[in-house]
A = this chain, B = another copy of it.
Amino acid sequence: MANVDEAILKRVKGWAPYVDAKLGFRNHWYPVMFSKEIDEGEPKTLKLLGENLLVNRIDGKLYCLKDRCLHRGVQLSVKVECKTKSTITCWYHAWTYRWEDGVLCDILTNPTSAQIGRQKLKTYPVQEAKGCVFIYLGDGDPPPLARDTPPNFLDDDMEILGKNQIIKSNWRLAVENGFDPSHIYIHKDSILVKDNDLALPLGFAPGGDRKQQTRVVDDDVVGRKGVYDLIGEHGVPVFEGTIGGEVVREGAYGEKIVANDISIWLPGVLKVNPFPNPDMMQFEWYVPIDENTHYYFQTLGKPCANDEERKNYEQEFESKWKPMALEGFNNDDIWAREAMVDFYADDKGWVNEILFEVDEAIVAWRKLASEHNQGIQTQAHVSG
């Protein structure tokens, strides 16, 4: 069963699987919170690709259970009852599950039930890296985390700090806003551009050869699939916006050159290098919560050689980069995504939109995602 009307899917031949993936791609790793947000023995509830989940930390290690009792379908998180360290007991009829494998190991209200040991609640692998909590929302053995993170994110010396929030738009509108080469127009008056002395054009006139506008990566050794936007390299940055030949708006002619290396990766994570400063990189995920919302999981990375550098970076992050870049700059991206919601709400936007040359990068992403995703999440996964 497709998520989207077949008549629409037929009209977007080049990337129908992507248009169908309103609930996200299954069988990928997604960051959902920061490590410091989850304490020992204090389960947190969240939603990912439409599924309610519970995450717990036991002896330091993280576990993830589907937050829906097998018996009558209630969320365990309505009233958490963990009576032993390694189990959770449903508050309703006391079906008790092991965090490790989801096995129904006991039922307090009926210790002789034949269901004990026979039923199993869905579990998902969890992994921590760079202070972030990743869940593998999929089936079977998970791939290495590296496959679903951009190059450099897991580098040994890379110090990662960030911010996470829920945004009311489909996750794809967020990806496309982030990777969109000409959306920089909305940032033209950003405080970051002025205060950090950035050079920022209004847009790009692409060169003649369409193929040179992007570079697709589908042979990465760790299995990553992504697209590089090469328009900065092969096109002409536009610093003067004209109407009828008259200049009506100029870009920013600052000293610092940033964002000349931009790439998007499955399952939906952007890398901007360097950014927001020449010695930093931005990695940001657009994580599907359900078809109408996503986590905007923003991180900034900076290579640090020792504890002192890390400490300085932390201070700088809080006082400068978080307010100026993650908020001052990226908050414009948030309302831009939300402004697209109505047009794509009935899925007809995918047919009625009119793209232009610079959208070649977005088209390349749609095709890559359609070809290399590991599965399309459906309503049947959610309710099944």
Contacts and interface: CB of A to CB of B under 8 A. Distances in A.
Interface of A: 68, 70-75, 78, 83-84, 87, 89, 91-94, 96, 105-115, 119, 180, 182-186, 202-206, 238, 241-244, 246, 248-249, 335-336, 339-340, 342-344, 346, 348-349, 352-358, 383-384
A262 to B, nearest CB: 15
Contacts of A241: 83, 94, 108-109, 111
B352 A107 contact: no
Residue of A72, A344, A357 contacting most chain B CB atoms (<10 Å) = A72
A244 B357 CA distance: 64
Contact of A354 (B119, B203, B339, B343): B119
Contacts of A238: 108-111
Nearest to A206: B110
A345 to B, nearest CB: 10
A71 B354 contact: yes
Contacts of A108: 185, 202-203, 238, 241-243, 248-249
A203 B355 CA distance: 60
A343 B72 contact: yes
A124 B244 CA distance: 23
Contact of A111 (B87, B91, B242): B242
Contacts of A336: 74, 92
A251 B349 CA distance: 56
A107 B356 CA distance: 10
A184 B206 CA distance: 67
Nearest to A91: B186
A243 B87 contact: yes
Contact of A355 (B71, B94, B186): B71
Contacts of A384: 352
Contact of A84 (B75, B246, B346, B358): B246
- With most chain B CB atoms within 10 A of its CB, the pick from A107, A108, A111, A349 is A108
Contacts of A87: 243
Contacts of A70: 354
Contacts of A114: 356-357
A47 to B, nearest CB: 11
- In order of increasing CB-CB distance, the 10 nearest A-B pairs are A109-B203, A73-B343, A108-B241, A83-B248, A109-B182, A74-B339, A93-B182, A112-B205, A106-B243, A70-B354
7 contacts: A74-B339, A84-B244, A89-B243, A91-B185, A108-B203, A108-B243, A111-B241
Nearest to A338: B78
A35 B248 CA distance: 30
Contacts of A107: 203, 356
Nearest to A339: B74
Contacts of A246: 84
Given A94-B185, A342-B73, A110 B244 contact: no
Contact of A68 (B113, B335, B343): B343
A357 B91 contact: no
A105 B244 CA distance: 8
Contact of A115 (B71, B352, B356): B356
B73 A110 contact: no
A108 B185 CA distance: 9
A204 B344 contact: no
Contacts of A182: 93-94, 109-110
Contacts of A183: 92-93
Contacts of A354: 70-71, 115, 119
B356 A106 contact: no
